[in-house]
Amino acid sequence: MLIEIKAGQFRKVSRLVRRECCNCMDGNCLLLDDGETHTCVQLISKYHIFCNHFKDAVLPLDKELYRELICGNDYKRCQSCGTRFYSKARNKRYCNQCAEQIKRQKQLLYINN
């Protein structure tokens, strides 16, 4: 299964490969080493994730990027503050901080009435 990446995500993926991947040394992949140097596949791929080691071991280190690429469109925008948050629930409209504030406000209104 190929995972598509966008231009902004490509920069994050490249940075993550260079910093965290134990098989990437000076832009070359140690897993592909057969006596000759081979450029890391993930560093030259601008549109997809091809490296299974990267997908399984390195990508989960950046939780936000992992959710964007693997979980897809489960991100939502908070109706109160406008920040993006992750939720699989269909009816969730607020991030955790705003949800707590709104819950307190509704409780106060209920008590006062």
- What does the alpha-carbon distance between residue 40 and residue 30 come to, in Å, rounded to a whole number? 8
Same domain, 67 and 87: no
Any idea how long the chain is? 113
Number of domains in the chain: 2
This prediction's pTM:
0.62
Same domain, 54 and 23: yes
Same domain, 82 and 27: no
Domain carrying residue 106: 75-112
Same domain, 15 and 63: yes
Same domain, 65 and 79: no
DSSP H or E segment with residue 25:
strand 24-25
pLDDT in tens, 55-91: 999 999 998 888 888 876 667 888 999 888 878 788 8
pLDDT in tens, 34-54: 888 899 999 998 999 999 999
Same domain, 8 and 35: yes
